[in-house]
Amino acid sequence: AHVVSTLKALGVDTDGLSLGDCSGLSSDNRISGRTLAQTLRTGMTSQRPDLRDLVRSLPWGGLDGTLDTRFTTGEAAANVQAKTGSLSTVSSLAGVVTTSGGRTLVFAVGNDAVPDDGAYWTRGVLDDFVQGLSAL
């Protein structure tokens, strides 16, 4: 309840948000791409250091964390910071990317209900999307 009320107070759209466990592992968790993107944008533009640290703490593509083997080449290499989300039938990526033109973009992209536990194999499509953003 505290997370939802905090997001609402910051002006983030929380329609449909359900946090069953705040870890991402509960089947009761629901969050829209809009809520993710607005949360990241709020963190980037806030005057509050704790919120800015939210984005700064995300893994860097090709360098560390869950992105250490992703975005190792191309425009997105070392230009994307993102949080992964993975379950057997879901794969998602939300973060920020610096474009080749110097703009910073916030994104949230994912898929749902991938058959046959195949979500892992769809990560390349998400990565291609972010590579495309970085080339803008």
Q: What is the mean pLDDT of each run of 10 residues along the chain (136 residues)?
A: 92 93 81 95 93 93 96 95 89 96 96 85 94 97
Q: Where are the domains of the chain?
A: 2-134
- How many other CB atoms sit within 10 Å of the CB of residue 129? 14
Give the pTM.
0.90
Could you confirm whether domain 2-134 is CATH 3.40.710.10? Answer: yes
Q: Given this model, what pLDDT does residue 115 score?
A: 85
- Strands 80-87, 104-111: pairing is unpaired
> Edge to edge, what strands does the sheet with 104-111 contain?
80-87, 90-98, 104-111
